[in-house]
């Protein structure tokens, strides 16, 4: 079992009062709660903070934790020999041999002391009698834009608690294969029914919730189901119009650029974005930029000069209008 | 080992859940869920219907409400206010994201491109 220093996680002294612990928790919850925080690794940090608070707020669990001794965070340890008799009396841990603690999570150990099991939505079933629905699992899934466009199958490796015949939770690896529908977008939540933890005493299993993160793409940017791609044009292509090969997530298409296309103009390719469940697909927008060659040869320079002398085009005509007003 | 592939369901505006399903999926109490509806944090598809149905996106909101209530020890009213702010922030972030992606207000209005092939 790996040691976690709950006092250090909450940033409080070992003799902190219940009030100090609550204050420290609230401050850290505000900082790391995944629903209100933009901190990096907020979810992982909040999980630790929440676990620490669950233990230290409860005098019984706190006393049991204190008697586990002091170890370095992350260090493998076993409870002292007489610990179970003092703190786990009546719990499944009371009669366990020392080596049986090795694959137990500290939070599961302390939660198990009061006979509690995690219920649906990560909540606690509070030691109640009767069937207890399985806990829900949550996982972050990073996929590519191509996978989001076409749909994909992923394999998730989770470490989940599994209860033995005594009701003791052991961490076990659990592999789940999930089909992600096409058209998912960054930040979308998905539910996989029945793929959470097992229910107890005939209760149904929990669900698995997936939080989709779509990796940035080197060419396309997304906004909901719409896609955006930069389309650089040479000045003469913008003036005269042209046909360009444009990449899309379903393969390149030939795009006709009308004559007189301006920088910043968006050319919409209807239905070439991500598909919407039960509706039409998003669009692909090609955003025009006009790029100029940085090196020109003598012939090109001469043609530009000729163009400059024969053209009446004034790109700054509105300056004069503005100055006259 | 052969593992069955499970289907992931989108939680969005295109599928529905009943009031009782929303209770089970969110872990909220009947009273808290009704209060969230009263405070406007969750809106049934037809508020006048005898049994409320919700879009499945409401599962995301209700679970968030459940977490906020549990983790910050808030009542349904405070959760509703907080959810309103979180929703506003998310809407602004989404707008900012759209602007950055090139979606809004930059350059002339969109014209249709012609695709051949």
* SS3 of chain A: CECCCHHHHHCCCCCCCHHHHHHHHHHHHHHHCCCCCCCCCHHHHHHHHHHHHHHHCCHHHHHHHHCCCCCCCCCECCCCCCHHHHHCCCCCCCCCCHHHHCCCCHHHHHHHHCCCCECHHHCECCCCCCCECCCCEEEEEEECHHHHHHCEEEEEEEEEEEECCCCCEEEEEEEEEEEECCCCCCCCEEEECCCCCCCECCCCCCCEEEEEEECCCCCEEEECCEEEEEEEECHHHHHHCEEEEECCCCCCEEEEECCCCCCCCEEEECCCCCCCCCCCCCCEEEEEEECCCCCCCHHHHHHHHHHHHHCCCCCCHHHHHHHHC
**Residue A145 contacts residue A214 (beta carbons within 8 Å):** yes
- In the predicted structure, residue A244 carries a pLDDT above the cut 50: yes
Give the N- to C-terminal CA distance of chain A in Å, as an integer: 78
Give the residue-averaged pLDDT of B81-102. 91
Q: A25, A45, A121, A286: which to substitute to probe chain B, counting the most B Cβ within 10 Å?
A: A121
ipTM for this model: 0.83
**pLDDT, tens only, B28-81:** 999 999 999 999 999 999 999 999 999 999 999 999 999 999 999 999 999 999
Contacts of B8 in chain A (CB under 8 A): 178-181, 190-192, 210
* CB spacing of B116 vs A269 below 8 angstroms: no
Q: A189, A260, A262: which to substitute to probe chain B, counting the most B Cβ within 10 Å?
A: A189
- Across the interface, of A35, A265, A268, the residue whose CB is closest to B108 is A265
- Across the interface, of A35, A121, A223, the residue whose CB is closest to B26 is A121
| CA atoms of A189 and A209, how far apart (whole Å) | 7
Q: Is B105 on the interface with A (CB under 8 A)?
A: no
Instruction: Band the pLDDT of A198: cuts 50, 70, 90.
Output: confident
The closest of A76, A68, A77, A73 to A113, measured between CA atoms, is A68
**pLDDT, tens only, A245-298:** 999 999 999 999 999 999 999 999 999 999 987 778 999 999 999 999 999 999
Q: Is B14 on the interface with A (CB under 8 A)?
A: yes
pLDDT at site B47? 94
Chain B residue with Cα closest to A153: B5
Contacts of B27 in chain A (CB under 8 A): 119-123
**pLDDT, tens only, A6-28:** 999 999 999 999 999 999 999 99
Beta carbons within 8 Å of B71's beta carbon, 6+ residues apart? A29, A33, A46, A50
pLDDT at site A122? 46
CA atoms within 13 A on the CB side of B107: 18
Considering the entire predicted model, what is its pTM?
A: 0.82
């Amino acid at each position: 079992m790996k040691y976690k220093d709950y006092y250090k996680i909450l940033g409080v002294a070992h003799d902190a009062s219940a009030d100090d612990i609550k204050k420290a928790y609230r401050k850290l919850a505000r900082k790391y709660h995944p629903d209100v925080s933009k901190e990096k690794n907020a979810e992982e940090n909040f999980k630790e903070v929440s676990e620490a608070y669950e233990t230290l707020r409860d005098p019984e669990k706190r006393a049991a934790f204190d008697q586990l001794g002091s170890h370095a965070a992350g260090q493998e340890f076993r409870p002292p020999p007489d610990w179970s008799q003092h703190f786990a009396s009546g719990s499944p841990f009371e009669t366990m041999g020392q080596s049986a603690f090795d694959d137990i999570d500290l939070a599961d150990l302390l939660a198990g002391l009061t006979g509690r099991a995690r219920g649906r939505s990560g909540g606690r079933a509070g030691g109640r009698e009767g069937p207890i629905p399985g806990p829900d699992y949550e996982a972050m899934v990073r996929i590519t834009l191509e996978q989001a466009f076409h749909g994909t199958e992923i394999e998730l490796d989770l470490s989940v608690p599994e209860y033995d015949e005594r009701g003791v939770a052991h961490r076990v690896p659990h592999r789940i294969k999930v089909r992600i529908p096409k058209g998912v977008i960054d930040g979308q939540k998905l539910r996989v029914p029945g793929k959470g933890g097992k229910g107890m005493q005939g209760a149904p299993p929990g669900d698995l919730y997936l939080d989709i993160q779509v990796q940035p793409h080197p060419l396309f940017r997304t906004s909901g189901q719409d896609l955006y791609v930069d389309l650089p044009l040479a000045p003469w292509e913008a003036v005269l119009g042209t046909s360009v090969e444009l990449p899309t997530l379903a393969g390149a298409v030939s795009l006709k650029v009308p004559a007189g296309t301006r920088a910043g103009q968006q050319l919409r390719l209807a239905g070439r974005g991500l598909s919407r469940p039960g509706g039409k697909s998003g669009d692909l927008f090609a955003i025009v930029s006009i790029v100029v060659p940085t090196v020109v040869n003598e012939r090109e320079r001469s043609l530009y000069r000729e163009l400059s002398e024969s053209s009446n085009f004034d790109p700054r005509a509105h300056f004069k209008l503005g100055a006259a007003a | 080992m052969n593992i069955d592939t499970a289907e992931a369901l989108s939680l969005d505006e295109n599928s529905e859940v009943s009031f009782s399903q929303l209770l089970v999926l969110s872990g909220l109490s009947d009273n808290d869920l009704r209060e969230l509806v009263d405070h406007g944090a969750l809106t049934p598809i037809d508020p006048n219907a005898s049994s409320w149905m919700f879009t499945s996106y409401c599962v995301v909101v209700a679970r968030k409400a459940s977490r906020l209530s549990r983790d910050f020890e808030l009542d349904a009213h405070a959760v509703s206010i907080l959810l309103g702010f979180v929703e506003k922030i998310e809407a602004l972030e989404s707008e900012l994201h759209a602007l950055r992606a090139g979606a809004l207000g930059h350059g002339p209005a969109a014209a249709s491109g012609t695709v051949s092939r």
